[in-house]
Amino acid sequence: MTVYAIIGGTGLTELSGFVLHKRSALQTPYGSPSADILQGEYAGRKVLFLARHGHPHRIPPHQINYRANLWALKQAGAQAIVAVNAVGGIHSAMGSGHLCVPHQIIDYTYGREHTFFEGDIEHVTHVDFSYPYDERLRQRLIAGLVAEGYPFSSSGVYGCTQGPRLETVAEIARMERDGCDIVGMTGMPEAVLARELDLPYVCLALVVNPAAGKGAGIITMDEIEAALAEGIVKVRAVLARLLI
């Protein structure tokens, strides 16, 4: 039976209903992960859990040690990754509270440690990244969303920006022209590092605000926190469906 690792983003620093069996403070060749790897049971199944931003939430997107996080999860026995990401909505269908299972990603980040294949290596390695998300896992998430009856999009293009600031109106307009449907700050290099480790990877994105220029006014943290509080309940239900 597949051992899933859940990477919790903003709003999901802990997994309600998770029965903890073991807490591991792992070290990797790339340093320390964001938090301890929690091993336990969720929805009746063995799972691993990692808070991407630490617990408490303290590590900004551009300073997350993505390499250590993915390496530690594989070291702890993960065989597939389910990433939960809070995002802004660009496409008109992506209103606050909407859920999306993206099928593609565009990387706008810079300066992040984005590969394991560097330094003292025996040969250059190129991984195929044509389809960044595992299709089998995408379909399992989609089935869970259908079963729960939540409004969702079964595809979408995730634009990953550097952060920690939010984007300008002009940047969002550019991303929309590029074909992006949602915008976040943590989708990369997480997805490609999972691919380099041969870990099937999927994203469940929760829209917590309209992107810059897509709402009636400026984006506020109160707005984001309210959407998170409501949306994380849906996320937990869908994760449980995936694990059944």
| 186/243: higher pLDDT | 186
Give, rounded to a whole angstrom, the gap between the first and last alpha carbons of the chain: 11
pLDDT of residue 18 exceeding 80, the answer is no
Q: For residue 14, what pLDDT is reported? A: 62
**b (16+ CB within 10 A) / e for 97-118:** bbbbbbbbbbbbbeebebebee
Bind-site residues for phosphate:
10, 52-53, 186
Q: For residue 139, what pLDDT is reported? A: 96
Q: For residue 125, what pLDDT is reported? A: 84
**Mean pLDDT, range 15-26, rounded to an integer:** 83
pTM of the model: 0.93
Instruction: Name the one residue in this structure whose structure tokens are 């309210």.
Output: 226
Task: Grade residue 87 by pLDDT with cuts at 50, 70 and 90.
Answer: very high
Residue 108 pairs in a beta bridge with: none
Helix axes 221-243, 135-148, angle to 10 degrees: 100
Q: For residue 189, what pLDDT is reported? A: 98
Q: How far apart are CA 50 and CA 134, in angstroms?
A: 20
Query: How much of the chain exceeds pLDDT 70, in percent?
Result: 97
Q: How far apart are CA 122 and CA 143, in angstroms?
A: 42
Bind-site residues:
10, 52-53, 185-186, 209-211
Q: Which of helix, strand or coil describes residue 104?
A: strand
pLDDT digits (tens, 9 = 90+) for 186-231: 999 999 999 999 999 999 999 999 999 998 777 777 888 888 888 8
CA distances from 210 to 155, 181, 182 (A): 18, 11, 9
Bind-site residues for substrate:
185, 209-211
Please give the domain boundaries of the chain with CATH numbers for all domains: 4-114+127-243 (3.40.50.1580)
The secondary structure of residue 157, as a DSSP letter, is: E
Q: For residue 10, what pLDDT is reported? A: 64
pLDDT of residue 74 exceeding 80, the answer is yes
pLDDT of residue 117 exceeding 90, the answer is no
What backbone phi and psi angles, to 5 degrees, belong to 12?
-135, 60
What backbone phi and psi angles, to 5 degrees, belong to 70?
-70, -40
Pick the closest to residue 188 from 69, 79, 73, 97 (CA basis). 69
